[in-house]
Amino acid sequence: MTEFMKVLALVLVLLPLSVGAATPTVLPTVPKGLKASVFAEVRNAREMAISPTGRVYVGSEEAGQVALVEKGKTHIMLEGLLIPNGVAWHNGDLYIAELQKLSVIRGVDKWVPGTKPKLETIKVSLPSDQHHGAKYIAIGPDNKLYIPVGAPCNVCLKPLPYAALHRMDLDGKNFTTIAEGIRNTVGFAWHPETKQLWFTDNGRDQMGDNVPPDEVNILVKEKTHFGFPYIHAHFKDSYFFPQAPAKFESVPATIEVQAHSATLGLAFTHKTQLSKLYPNCVIVAEHGSWNRSSKVGYQVSVSCPDKAKKFPPLQPLMTGLLNLGQVSGRPVDVKFLPDGALLVSDDYANKIWKIEADGGSK
């Protein structure tokens, strides 16, 4: 046998192991008392909306799709949309946020896979900038729709509606700005007890590995300012702070998070399968860094209030998606199923992870 034939034979033997071989799913790591599993395979899974019946609706920013996960199966509901990141379920209807468009599917829980749902457009004017253009939406306790408009830049000074959080009626009327100085929030929720709105905010880039922190904020009073672009967390911007209005005041972050972690989805553990280990705590999805010399984030973290009801720095809850600098997943949104299990969407692994009490319902 010639040397060439020997090499060819070796390649043919090894080929099934190196080309086209299925890569086994590596489950995330969770603390003792919890277990992680794959809930569903969903392309570029972003924001989730969950109905009381357990139907899970998923927006997909890059795939241009909205999917339904039901009984372990994924069904594509809509295709060809423009950055449909945001979804919100309310009273049987599904609200969908694209780049500059809001729409709704009435009676969405009656939708049958294989049929085409009817989209009803909501009349509202939104910017078309793609930089920080993905919209996260939610329906508040007041039955209003909340939607942010991110800053169309790394750092810049733009007029409203940019870098702000807004509220409107479900039909798009009475569009109102409720908070300013928010660079880019892609996750918010209302505290189950205080009913205050909590939201994450991504700090600006290109100030170094550890500056400025990402933020978890609380909207205690409407019409307040959270700093951007004048102040990033507690760091004054050398260029923009001198341009701040006279007597400028901003609301400090409730929790400062490691810079470039890319904090996104946020949820509370109250009365869930996680509340025994983490009572009355806040959970945050860290999407992970892109411009840091060593990667950070790529996990789900938690902060539990102390005796003074202050929230300390985040601690890891779901890890294992970043190993020796290699990334296998990027958490986006966190939502609880009706049975109290936690779902974590992952737009990199194209999965929705499920975290539940060890021995809890499947």
CATH number, position 110? 2.120.10.30
Task: Tell me, yes or no, whether 362 lies in a domain.
Answer: no
Task: Tell me, yes or no, whether 15 lies in a domain.
Answer: no
Residue-range definition of the domain harbouring residue 296 = 26-357
How many domains does the chain contain in total? Answer: 1
Task: Tell me, yes or no, whether 270 lies in a domain.
Answer: yes
Cα atoms in the 13 Å half-sphere on the side-chain side of 143: 3
| pLDDT recorded at residue 17 | 32
| pLDDT recorded at residue 21 | 36
Q: What is the pTM of this model?
A: 0.92
- How far apart CA 123 and CA 80 sit, in angstroms, is 20
- In our burial notation (b when 16+ CB lie closer than 10 A, e otherwise), range 170-204 reads bebeeeeebbbbbbbbbbbbbeeeeeebbbbbbbb
Task: Tell me, yes or no, whether 328 lies in a domain.
Answer: yes
What is residue 98's DSSP assignment? -
pLDDT along the chain (362 residues), means of 10: 40 33 73 97 98 97 96 96 98 98 98 96 96 98 98 98 98 98 98 97 95 98 98 96 96 97 98 97 97 96 96 98 96 98 98 90 42
| pLDDT recorded at residue 291 | 87
